[in-house]
Amino acid sequence: MRAATTIIRAVRQTEKGARIAAHNQYVLEVAPDANKAEIRSAAEILFGVTVRAVNTARQQGKWRRLQARWGRRPDTKRAIVTVAPGQKIEVKA
């Protein structure tokens, strides 16, 4: 198994993330090749919480232009992790 820090890259702080935090759900940026079982175990190790569910979504990188050249942003994957009631993932501001 890989290290937990290579699976979970960051906790995303967005407006949607703030809304769903009231329902014990948190948005995490994860490695594109990580599966739900790896994400679950990594979140439990890193944050010390009990994970109830993991939902994932992939997003393709956008095409962007910088002067005369075209480039593509990297593909990303995010996971919405539901934790047990009464538990929290502390997010540093």
Q: Is the pLDDT of residue 92 over 90?
A: no
Per-residue confidence (pLDDT) for residue 44, from 0 to 100 = 95
Task: Fill in the DSSP letter of residue 73.
Answer: P
Q: Mean pLDDT over residues 18-25, rounded?
A: 93
Domains of the chain, CATH where assigned: 4-83 (3.30.70.330)
Tokens of 36: 């739900």
Phi and psi angles of residue 20, each rounded to the nearest 5 degrees, phi first = -80, -10
Q: Mean pLDDT over residues 74-80, rounded?
A: 96
Tell me the per-residue pLDDT of 39-72, one tens digit each, with 9 for 90 and over: 999 999 999 999 999 999 999 999 999 999 999 9
Task: Fill in the DSSP letter of residue 68.
Answer: T
Round the average pLDDT of the chain to a whole number and report it: 94
Rounded CA-CA distance 46/66 in Å is 37
Phi and psi angles of residue 5, each rounded to the nearest 5 degrees, phi first = -75, -20
Residues contacting 43, CB < 8 A, separation 6+: 4, 8, 28, 49, 51, 54, 81, 89
Per-residue confidence (pLDDT) for residue 90, from 0 to 100 = 84
Per-residue confidence (pLDDT) for residue 76, from 0 to 100 = 96
Confidence of residue 74 (pLDDT cuts 50, 70, 90): very high
